[in-house]
A and B are shown apart, each in its own frame.
Chain A
Amino acid sequence: MATALAQRQAGGGVFRLPRWLAGDHPFPWLAPLTAMLLAFGVYPLLYAVWLSFQERSRVTRQFEFAGVRQWATALADDRMWGALQTTVVYTLACLAIQLVLGMAVALLLDADRRGYGLLRALMTLPLVVPPAVTGMMFLLMQDAQFGVLTYGLVQAGLLDPTQPLLGASSTALAAIMLADVWQWTPFMVLIFLAGLRALPKEPFEAAAIDGASPVQAFRYLTLPMLSRVIAVAVLIRSIDLFRIYDYVYVMTGGGPGTLTETLSFYAGRIFTLANFPYAATLSLIVLLVLNAAAMLFIRLTRIRF
């Protein structure tokens, strides 16, 4: 050991790599990741920004500089505002439902008795179903002719059989949200369960001795102690909700009309129509709104990674 140390200190051989490459510097460890993110993360982003200032010439079919025309078009585009509104409504409604339902189910499953481990494991299964398949699952159950959910609702007198769930303007967005709630409420359950199981026992015992009701214990002990967990869950879920694409593509294709068209989906549709500069502009709007909201949220809640 002593000789090895001595050799290291003496510097050994004739040729030596610079210290930052020889191993005791973080640079070589971070370089591959940074290169990958620059090549396929930053460069595409700059490319998208460049694209959003272009337009396709009617004559040469080449891109040419168009100033802020695409952005001006977007700001004056009623369909963009409609899609933005749909996305916000979708995000907030799903978030609220998944938060409340997720907490309720987590409290229900937070027990050490026999069988609860299995129940918790089963709850994680929806998370790994491909979202496109989840969309299909609910499409199958919500079919107007043979859907089991449609049948159940009609039998219960809750649904007019002439109004298909996904075709009627009053229920189409809710029908998509049902798929989202099914798939992602387990995400909230799982995170809240981890938080609940890590809580110390003593404050709850003390509160019980002092005669606090379970509701009071939840309001004044559980909720404040889980605040960080809740903040992280809300942040991650909101980011994913705001980018919603798969369910809309599979279940309604944005219809009826453009009623369930979200911002990501609208951008995707314009992309398919080969209006690339405008598609890039729309996708950047998704990114801008999302980043601003996420940054504000992280600032307010002081989350650190």
Chain B
Amino acid sequence: MHGSVATRVLRDLAAWATVLLFMFPLFWWVLSSFKPYTAIFNTTPIFFDFTPTLDNYRVTLAGASRVGLAVERGGGVGTVAGGASSYFSIPSIVDSIIVAVGSTVLAVILATLAAYGLSRWEMRGKQHFVFWVLAQRMMPPIAVAIPIFFIFRDLGLRDTHLGLVLAHTLINLPLAVLLMKSFLDDVPRELDEAAMIDGASRLAVFRMVTLPLVRGGLAATAVLCFVFSWTEFLLSLQLTTSIRTIPVKISTFVTSTGTEWGFITALGSAALVPSFIFIMLVQRHLVRGLTLGSLKD
């Protein structure tokens, strides 16, 4: 730890080089979203020698038509290929927000109640119950998608927001339960018991004493659930057709006539913004969340 100045500088260089290497794909992705069509497809990669444009964002987020943009620049209609309207992605963003917010709220409510039960009472078979909850997480998404496809068809939930909300809630529950349990375990039971001796009901204690103490953990759990739903691909792909969450929408930009890299990178970059902001806010709790609450941070 007390190396010479030379080794310290060397280590700093190595650390920065490593992290920058990991940042490169993100950098290249965002950079590409500002490139005009020809710059993306140049055989020699172009780093900074291009005129930045917002066209890709205007098509995907503002509904501009590519043909319109070409005419605006003085080119003819014939100079561009492909349709336009199918790249407008605001409806997908709305779908994604509905599903992510819905499943986050549902998962957090169910999980917090159950986690309180698990953290406040001792009971026979508790470890088995917790393992059973965890085992739900081991279900490969494809093994969930196939039967749920039929069940949703019978219930009329196929291709609905509610259906996808339920599916994402199911996948998120194990994480949310274990995470909330580990946060609630940090709040001493004596606190609840003291308040109950003072005459408060269990529900009032939960609402007014315990819950305010785990606000941070609650926020972290919500963020991790949100990010999972926001990024989930397989279930959204298999369970819905008219509702398209952002990752599924992006995958449709790969067409038989070519891959629309400009629109893909623009929508892809825009989709990263909320996740990056949220994850920075709950940085502290990230480790516990990713390890399903099995490690304290």
Contacts and interface: CB of A to CB of B under 8 A. Distances in A.
A228 B271 CA distance: 35
A202 to B, nearest CB: 14
Contacts of B259: 139
Contacts of A134: 25
Given A116-B15, A132-B233, A268-B234, A145 B41 contact: yes
Given A33-B110, A122-B23, A232-B294, A44 B151 contact: yes
A128 B250 CA distance: 16
B133 A37 contact: yes
B293 A305 contact: yes
Nearest to B249: A132
Contacts of A147: 45
B290 A40 contact: no
Given A108-B14, A122-B19, A127-B279, A23 B203 contact: yes
B127 interface: yes
A88 interface: no
A290 B138 contact: yes
A294 B18 CA distance: 32
A170 interface: no
A291 B295 contact: no
Interface in A237-279: 239, 242-243, 245-246, 249-250, 264, 267-268, 271, 276, 279
A119 B116 CA distance: 36
B251 interface: yes
A187 B295 CA distance: 13
B261 interface: yes
Contacts of B11: 108, 111
Most buried by A among B116, B131, B279, B295: B295
A119 B170 CA distance: 34
Contacts of B23: 122, 125
Contact of B268 (A36, A125, A136, A267): A136
The secondary-structure label for the interface of chain B is helix
B198 A1 contact: yes
Contact of A236 (B149, B278, B292): B292
B145 interface: yes
A232 B295 contact: yes
B240 interface: no
B120 interface: yes
Contact of A133 (B178, B238, B254, B268): B268
Contacts of B198: 1, 4
A194 to B, nearest CB: 4
Contacts of B40: 146
Contacts of A123: 19, 22
Interface stretch (B62-70, B71-79, B280-288): B280-288
A157 B157 CA distance: 54
Interface size class of B (residues with CB under 8 A): 35 or more
Interface in B100-145: 109-111, 113-114, 116-118, 120-121, 123, 127, 129-145
A48 B145 CA distance: 10
B243 interface: no
Interface stretch (B26-34, B48-56, B87-95, B213-221): B26-34
Contacts of A51: 146-147, 150
B60 interface: no
B202 A24 contact: yes
A182 B15 contact: no
Given A140-B32, A283-B146, A250 B251 contact: yes
B36 to A, nearest CB: 14
Contacts, number: 281
Contacts of B177: 33
A264 B170 contact: no
Interface in A6-28: 7-8, 23-28
Minimum-distance CB pairs A-B, first 9: A4-B199, A29-B117, A130-B231, A44-B147, A33-B114, A26-B117, A283-B143, A47-B147, A23-B202
26 contacts: A4-B198, A26-B117, A40-B148, A40-B169, A41-B170, A47-B150, A51-B150, A113-B12, A121-B280, A123-B22, A130-B271, A131-B233, A132-B233, A134-B25, A137-B28, A146-B40, A151-B43, A195-B295, A236-B291, A245-B140, A245-B141, A250-B251, A287-B143, A291-B135, A303-B294, A305-B134
Interface of B: 8, 11-12, 14-16, 18-19, 22-23, 25-26, 28-29, 32, 40-45, 109-111, 113-114, 116-118, 120-121, 123, 127, 129-151, 166-167, 169-170, 173, 177-178, 197-199, 201-203, 227, 230-234, 237-238, 246-248, 250-251, 254, 259, 261, 264-265, 268, 271-272, 275-276, 278-280, 283, 286-287, 290-295, 297
Given A113-B12, A148-B45, A290-B140, 6 more contacts: A37-B133, A119-B15, A130-B247, A151-B43, A233-B291, A267-B142
Interface of A: 1, 4-5, 7-8, 23-30, 32-34, 36-37, 40-41, 43-45, 47-48, 51, 105, 108-109, 111, 113, 115-116, 119, 121-134, 136-141, 145-148, 151, 182, 185-187, 190-191, 193-195, 228-229, 232-233, 236, 239, 242-243, 245-246, 249-250, 264, 267-268, 271, 276, 279-280, 283-284, 286-287, 290-291, 294, 303-305
